[in-house]
Amino acid sequence: MNNLNEKQKMLSGELYDAGDSTLVEERQRCKDLCFEYNHLLPSKIEERKSIIKNLFGKAADRFLIEQPFYCDYGYNIEIGENFYTNHNVIILDCAKVTFGGNVFIAPNCGFYTAGHPLDTEQRNRGLEDAKPITVGNNVWIGGGCTILPGVTIGDNTVIGAGSLVVKDIPANVLAFGNPCKVIREI
């Protein structure tokens, strides 16, 4: 018998009920903070940093996240030093999303840890699962990229614009495409 609550199931990668009242409440808190963040004047850098540090599980001192920015829980996101995202980045952090130092993300990128069952009965009951995403150090992700659940991107890698990353990408490569694949070493 599984005695885990829905949040524990979510964090352990098991199927969980996304409509669980605790999870709904935590997402609502996060959405309120994202709303507050996205409606601050862009020049209010310190206030913006304060919200992100309150929202994220871990945030280094030097980072800039352009508005608008959206996430589901916030506490599952960790960012390293000198982290930058351009406008309109979405991180669905039902599982841990970890970014190393010197990561640069172009506009309109999505990092999606959530997955939904192929079984229609389970999916219609609101069940989903989540797998972590890990991005190494010194990574550049081009505009319009989508990073799917369970993906790891190695250090010093460049992901070209418009890529759909469905599997791990090693360190020290240029990769792009749909699906994303290694083009060459760098």
Active site residues: 116
Report CA-CA distances (Å) from 143 to 9, 31, 93, 116, 147: 33, 24, 20, 25, 12
What is the β-pairing status of strands 133-135 and 97-99? parallel
Burial tier of 150 (Cβ tally within 10 Å: 0-12, 13-18, 19+): middle
Looking only at Cα atoms, what is the longest distance across the chain? 52
